[in-house]
Structure 1
Amino acid sequence: MRIEISDLRFETIIGVLDFERQEEQEIVVDLKIDYRYREGNFLDYAQIAQEVQEHLRSRRYELLEEALLGLESLLTARHPDIQRLECRITKPHILPHARVSVTREWTRG
């Protein structure tokens, strides 16, 4: 099975520039999660969305790359049925005429 969470928007501290460390900025998170579904055993997409927001808000990463690695560790540890994970974090307002994104893909063993 696959869960897709698209366009999860919230504000957090993320970045290396001085103003990014002082003021929250909007980010957008997109997830594609392939997992082993068995009757009665499913992934709660609302819970995952909440975990992502709480993690990124509390950690205040400097680099998007570090944030993606942190999300991978968090989600695969809490949800061992995840077989494949694709995660993208976008900063929609960091450049005046472009959206900046970093993507990470992970596959179990």
Structure 2
Amino acid sequence: MKIHIENLTFTCIIGILEFERNNAQEVIINVEIKYAYDDEFINYAEVADFIRAAMIHQKFLLIEDALQYLSVQLKNKFSKINTLYLKITKPSILPDCMVSVSDTTHFNS
């Protein structure tokens, strides 16, 4: 099975510049989770809530750090995950484009 969470949007502190540390900015998160469904499912609402709460609480400096943290924590919380794709977008950081960083993690489970 594959879960898609698209355009999960909220504000949080993320970035290394002074104004990014002082003011929450909008982020957009896209997630793709592959897992083996065998009468137990992964609750996508819990995944979305977990990501939002972690991002707001952790106040990451770099998107890369957020991706690594979320990957480990999501696997710990949802052990059925086999492959995890995460993309974090900062839509307003540059005036003429949206900037994103993404990563795919394959777990041995």
TM-score in terms of structure 2 length: 0.98
Q: Which runs of 5+ in 1 are unaligned?
A: none
- State how many pairs are aligned: 108
Q: Structure 1, residues 36-65: CA drift from partner, whole Å, max 9, x if none?
A: 1111x0000001000000000000000000
Which aligned segments of 4 or more residues in structure 1 are displaced greater than 2 angstroms?
none
Percent of aligned positions with the same letter in both sequences? 36
CA distance in 2 between partners of 1:80 and 1:36 (Å): 11
Structure-1 residue corresponding to 2:5:
5
CA distance in 2 between partners of 1:43 and 1:104 (Å): 20
Q: Report the AA paired with residue 50 of structure 1.
A: D
TM-score in terms of structure 1 length: 0.98
Q: Which runs of 5+ in 2 are unaligned?
A: none
Q: Report the AA paired with residue 13 of structure 1.
A: I
SS at match of 1:80: coil
CA-atom RMSD, angstroms?
0.5
CA distance in 2 between partners of 1:67 and 1:108 (Å): 18
Structure-1 residue corresponding to 2:54:
55
